[in-house]
Amino acid sequence: MFGRSRSWVGGGHGKSSRNIHSLDHLKYLYHVLTKNTTVTEQNRNLLVETIRSITEILIWGDQNDSSVFDFFLEKNMFVFFLNILRQKSGRYVCVQLLQTLNILFENISHETSLYYLLSNNYVNSIIVHKFDFSDEEIMAYYISFLKTLSLKLNNHTVHFFYNEHTNDFALYTEAIKFFNHPESMVRIAVRTITLNVYKVSLDNQAMLHYIRDKTAVPYFSNLVWFIGSHVIELDNCVQTDEEHRNRGKLSDLVAEHLDHLHYLNDILIINCEFLNDVLTDHLLNRLFLPLYVYSLENQDKGGERPKISLPVSLYLLSQVFLIIHHAPLVNSLAEVILNGDLSEMYAKPEQDVQRSCAKPSIRCFIKPTETLERSLEMNKHKGKRRVQKRPNYKNVGEEEDEEKGPAEDAQDDAEKAKGTEGGSKGIKTSGENEEIEMVIMERSKLPELASTSVQEQNTTDEEKSAATGLESARWSRPFLDMVYHALDSPDDDYHALFVLCLLYAMSHNKGMDPEKLERIQLPVPSEAEKTTYNHLLAERLIRIMNNAAQPDGKIRLATLELSCLLLKQQVVTSTGCVIKDVHLACLEGAREESVHLVRHFYKGEEIFLDMFEDEYRSMTMKPMNVEYLMMDASILLPPTGTPLTGIDFVKRLPCGDVEKTRRAIRVFFMLRSLSLQLRGEPETQLPLTREEDLIKTDDVLDLNNSDLIACTVITKDGGMVQRFLAVDIYQMSLVEPDVSRLGWGVVKFAGLLQDMQVTGVEDDSRALNITIHKPASSPHSKPFPILQATFIFSDHIRCIIAKQRLAKGRIQARRMKMQRIAALLDLPIQPTTEVLGFGLGSSSSSQHLPFRFYDQCRRGSSDPTVQRSVFASVDKVPGFAVAQCINQHSSPSLSSPSPPASGSPSGSGSTSHCDSGGASASSTPSVAQSPTDDPTTMEQPQPNLLDQLVIVSETEAGARPGKSLAKSADEPVSLSPSLIPAQQPTISLLCEDTADTLSVESLTLVPPVDPHSLHTLAGILPPPMPATEGTGTPGEEAGPSEPAGPAQH
């Protein structure tokens, strides 16, 4: 086929490409064209091939030989194209021509060549040619052609397209006629073309005026109507949804709305003032206010006017604020939402944005009185007579639309005239619109009419914002009230989530005037100085948090996360936190609740640890992105619990015990992190495993005295290496001897024991299969095996030793972590001999130490002091430390479950804990009212704490027992207040560390701890005692060991 078409052009295979790309060849092709001016079945292929070759030569000429273009121009070869096009030459030729044109304009690089092609108006003739747009391929090529042209628009070329004298701008006007084409790619192309045109129009006043005066109003009003119709369809989809069946359609509609918003935003950020005024006016007064904002209020009132449901309206408004940052638009919109008055709802012309715009508008969502195509033609032919109709992909539908009665037509024209020529400001309020079909407004309310007109006169020439500013005090704020009200819903957070998003979006909007937000005391995130915040909102946020921490809380994780974000944004400043004590207390209460909630799910089961770590990972790796959240259509449907919907976990309620556990863990993390942040404390406990604490490949370790097992490792891909297997507290590693130092080893592989699986090999008693999976980094990725190998040992004894060591190590590693979780949850540690001794007696406790400490302590492992001191400095085993702490206090607590009163006498001031403890004893609102001492009580612990933290290896849990020990004399007394059940203090002014200390002890009195275990503990008690006492000094001693590790590498 290929060969044949070549030969037709006379090239043949013999000819070199040089000949094909030449002026001579073009002359030959010209000759072919002149011989075949009429398209027939016979010469069709020849013509197509000729056109194709001409394209190629022209592009070649553009890059190599300018005489080609001269010839092309001289012979007016474009006319042949047009001529062929105008014959009903059929789709094949048509497509080929359009493709040729696409290629031509796409590949021409020289300005002059481009001018040649554009001169004589041939291109415009092609643009307005009546193609058969019902053919999808022709449509696609045609719109691509326009798009390609629009990309060639610039200050010079624009004159070839826009004719100032005849008011012709075919490229633009033909393109926008397809703005609502059913094929999405076509619509996208139209948007591209318009954006390209607007960008160029910035530098071309005449064109700008043309676009604004002749096309902007028809185009934007139709566009806005198109968007609004989609929104109503969207709302309908939400309303009629049953069992989430509409989700597919809903997500398309939401995506479509987002596309539109992004498109509008793209127009706005071109920053063409002229256009922006018109567009802003239309958006505000024809869409956002009448359809979105007015739907916030009065769901039942409003009569005929189109409205959407509250959640949909909140959702869409959030999207608007998240995407559009054009200051005049967002400020006017926010003004109405935050300060809006009911009277505004009723037909008042809008002045504040569109002073410069000729056309006054009414706030209503109405269908444009005529189709875009018609408006454009009307405008174009204002001076001229007839309206020329062009075929269109939707010819049929159009006819109906345009077949209106003559009277109506006249009416339309009158409207039109008024619209474009301006002049009729407030007049258009009532009578006229009723005659127009599809006008649906809240005009039915007669009482309002009077006030409306008064309102109009008053504000016609006023700055409305000024007016609202002055009068806001006595105006009700129905929209804002509604916004707050939606946060109150006790049953679920369906509305609350949207409200939070809206507030978040408004406060993060770059175009927003901070003053607007300040009026409702909603600070913008960047604001440096804050002294106060919105108490009403903060209280509601804390209530949501509290609710989330309840076992049956109906708050979704997304809502909680957003609440935390908003609260932080309100109270955290660059210098500190301005939260009121009473609010902080409530928040602490919520955090306590969340601890209780997790405790309820805390189990010794393996899976809990994995869930715990996994939740932490996914929470930190995937922080909330509100914009993404608001792109998800699924939250538009009432919250559901079932994962069968495929809705993301954070956007629905938990289903089943596992998810409830996951949720509880998440709530705990979020509230813990919030609480720490508000109190200005660093997180020292999470994640349970920090990357920097782990042994890494190429670390060099001192392995003297370590248990090492030689083995051969055969990886899956057949590789075989000799290694020594070493088992550390959390990791297993494969090392090879370090050539430079005897007894040291270089780590070749290190993997977490907790993620390891060991199995025997059936027919080889010396071999083990070992797999270690890397935990999935995102919910989508698969767990990835970082090690998958067969280990062969020298004999079956060593094999069994290795297997046991690994298996035990795995259990041990997991148990350690579970204990750390228990410490986080203030749960007592369940002691087992295995934990303490790893089944190997006391000396083996050094085995719990990571290798990096070995060089310090291994050799001295016979010396218990050193060993213990090192141990105390290792933050990896706070659980252990806490356990000791509990032992210490267990007896006094047990012996005196004493009344709170006992706490007060000893509030000697020697410790701050007692003070705050005492305060919490009275627990409660009354305390909140006397916050004067609180700053001191809350500050005091910190220097204290800091010291300890430095010495005792920066873990809180580690620190606390240490501290308690230091003040052992006071401790028993300060314990008793803690007996106040932790459930109660929703308001508690305890600062965190005290609270924790207390509750640790309080819990020792409460199930699930078996009293016997305490006794058991007491039995074990003596040995650890000296260890903890040694915390202070030996801790320092051990300190240097930390840097020593890396230094060796």
**Within positions 30 to 49, which residues make up the interface with another protein, using CB under 8 A?**
45, 49
Closer CB to another protein, 64 or 794, in the complex: 64
Q: Does 103 bind another protein (CB under 8 A)?
A: yes
In the complex, what is the shortest distance from the CB of residue 266 to another protein, in angstroms, rounded to a whole number?
A: 5
**What separation in angstroms does the CA of 465 have from each of 247, 423, 507?**
40, 24, 19
Q: Does 628 bind another protein (CB under 8 A)?
A: yes
Number of residues located near another protein, criterion CB under 8 A = 49
Short-list 1029, 1034, 891, 874, CA closest to 966: 1029
Residue 1011 structure tokens: 């009293």
Euclidean distance between CA atoms 1040 and 418, whole angstroms: 85
Scanning 534-580, the segments in alpha helix (DSSP H) are: 535-548, 557-571
Closer CB to another protein, 56 or 352, in the complex: 56
Among 65, 168, 259, 610, binds another protein (CB under 8 A): 259
Q: Which residue's structure tokens are 């307005």?
A: 128
Burial readout 699-708 (b: 16 or more C-beta within 10 A, e: otherwise):
bbbbbeebee
Q: Does 248 bind another protein (CB under 8 A)?
A: yes
φ and ψ at residue 558, rounded to 5 degrees: -60, -40
Q: Does 430 bind another protein (CB under 8 A)?
A: no
In the complex, what is the shortest distance from the CB of residue 195 to another protein, in angstroms, rounded to a whole number?
A: 5
Q: Does 56 bind another protein (CB under 8 A)?
A: yes
List CB contacts of 1025: < 8 A, sequence separation 6 or more: 884
Closer CB to another protein, 646 or 687, in the complex: 646
Closer CB to another protein, 233 or 1036, in the complex: 233
Euclidean distance between CA atoms 615 and 621, whole angstroms: 10
Map residue 509 onto helix, strand or coil.
Answer: coil
Q: Does 395 bind another protein (CB under 8 A)?
A: no
Euclidean distance between CA atoms 461 and 202, whole angstroms: 29
Q: Which long-range contacts (CB under 8 A, 24 or more apart) does 393-396 make?
A: 393/133, 393/134, 393/139, 393/178, 393/181
In the complex, what is the shortest distance from the CB of residue 632 to another protein, in angstroms, rounded to a whole number?
A: 12
In the complex, what is the shortest distance from the CB of residue 810 to another protein, in angstroms, rounded to a whole number?
A: 29
Closer CB to another protein, 262 or 568, in the complex: 262
Q: Does 358 bind another protein (CB under 8 A)?
A: no
**What's CA 418's distance to the chain center, in Å?**
45
Among 137, 273, 421, 834, binds another protein (CB under 8 A): 137
Euclidean distance between CA atoms 450 and 933, whole angstroms: 58
Q: Does 317 bind another protein (CB under 8 A)?
A: no
Closer CB to another protein, 98 or 877, in the complex: 98
Q: Does 87 bind another protein (CB under 8 A)?
A: no
In the complex, what is the shortest distance from the CB of residue 103 to another protein, in angstroms, rounded to a whole number?
A: 5
Among 50, 124, 144, 1002, binds another protein (CB under 8 A): 144
Binding-residue pattern over the window 265 to 284 for another protein, x denoting contact by CB under 8 A: xx------------------
Q: Are 834 and 809 in contact (CB under 8 A)?
A: no
839 torsion bin: left (phi>0), alpha (psi -120 to 50), beta (else): left
Closer CB to another protein, 241 or 954, in the complex: 241
Among 29, 69, 147, 337, binds another protein (CB under 8 A): 147
Strands, E assignment, 664-763: 700-702, 709-715, 720-727, 731-737, 744-752, 756-761
Q: Does 518 bind another protein (CB under 8 A)?
A: no
In the complex, what is the shortest distance from the CB of residue 223 to another protein, in angstroms, rounded to a whole number?
A: 13
Q: How many CA atoms lie within 13 A of 611 on its CB side?
A: 20
In the complex, what is the shortest distance from the CB of residue 92 to another protein, in angstroms, rounded to a whole number?
A: 4
Map residue 967 onto helix, strand or coil.
Answer: coil
788: enclosing H helix or E strand: strand 784-793
Q: Does 252 bind another protein (CB under 8 A)?
A: yes
Q: Does 527 bind another protein (CB under 8 A)?
A: no
**What's CA 160's distance to the chain center, in Å?**
44
Closer CB to another protein, 53 or 893, in the complex: 53
Q: Are 220 and 282 in contact (CB under 8 A)?
A: yes
Among 33, 59, 665, 965, binds another protein (CB under 8 A): 59
Q: Does 626 bind another protein (CB under 8 A)?
A: no
Closer CB to another protein, 51 or 1027, in the complex: 51
In the complex, what is the shortest distance from the CB of residue 780 to another protein, in angstroms, rounded to a whole number?
A: 9
Euclidean distance between CA atoms 661 and 611, whole angstroms: 8
Q: Does 391 bind another protein (CB under 8 A)?
A: no
In the complex, what is the shortest distance from the CB of residue 183 to another protein, in angstroms, rounded to a whole number?
A: 8
In the complex, what is the shortest distance from the CB of residue 503 to another protein, in angstroms, rounded to a whole number?
A: 24
Short-list 91, 358, 7, CA closest to 209: 358
DSSP assignments along 300-350, one per residue: S-STTS----HHHHHHHHHHHHHH---HHHHHHHHHHHHH--GGGGSS---
Q: Does 151 bind another protein (CB under 8 A)?
A: yes
Euclidean distance between CA atoms 600 and 550, whole angstroms: 11
Closer CB to another protein, 266 or 527, in the complex: 266
Q: Does 201 bind another protein (CB under 8 A)?
A: no
Q: Does 603 bind another protein (CB under 8 A)?
A: no
Q: Identify which range of 188-196, 224-232, 478-486, 598-606 contacts another protein by CB under 8 A.
A: 188-196
Euclidean distance between CA atoms 748 and 734, whole angstroms: 6
Q: Does 184 bind another protein (CB under 8 A)?
A: yes
Residue 271 structure tokens: 């920053």
Q: Identify which range of 65-73, 122-130, 189-197, 933-941 contacts another protein by CB under 8 A.
A: 189-197
Q: Side chain identity at 423, as an amino acid letter?
A: G
Residue positions counted in the chain: 1049
Q: Does 5 bind another protein (CB under 8 A)?
A: yes
Q: Identify which range of 100-108, 594-602, 682-690, 800-808 contacts another protein by CB under 8 A.
A: 100-108
Closer CB to another protein, 114 or 877, in the complex: 114
Q: Does 17 bind another protein (CB under 8 A)?
A: yes
Residue 468 structure tokens: 């609202």
Q: Are 735 and 752 in contact (CB under 8 A)?
A: no
Binding-residue pattern over the window 64 to 83 for another protein, x denoting contact by CB under 8 A: x-------------------
Closer CB to another protein, 56 or 415, in the complex: 56
List CB contacts of 58: < 8 A, sequence separation 6 or more: 26, 68, 69, 72, 104, 108, 113
Closer CB to another protein, 141 or 294, in the complex: 141
Q: Does 1006 bind another protein (CB under 8 A)?
A: no
In the complex, what is the shortest distance from the CB of residue 231 to another protein, in angstroms, rounded to a whole number?
A: 17
Closer CB to another protein, 138 or 811, in the complex: 138
Euclidean distance between CA atoms 907 and 898, whole angstroms: 15
Q: Does 516 bind another protein (CB under 8 A)?
A: no
Strand arrangement, sheet containing 744-752: 700-702, 744-752, 731-737, 720-727, 709-715, 784-793, 764-774, 756-761
Short-list 548, 599, 552, CA closest to 981: 599
Q: Does 21 bind another protein (CB under 8 A)?
A: yes
Q: Which residue's structure tokens are 């995407």?
A: 323
Which residues is 473 bridged to in the sheet? none
Closer CB to another protein, 248 or 604, in the complex: 248
Closer CB to another protein, 199 or 568, in the complex: 199
Residues that bind another protein (CB under 8 A): 1-2, 5, 17, 21, 45, 49, 52, 56, 59-60, 63-64, 90-92, 95, 99, 102-103, 106-107, 135-137, 140-141, 144, 147-148, 151, 184-185, 187-188, 191-192, 195, 248-249, 252, 255, 258-259, 262-263, 265-266, 628
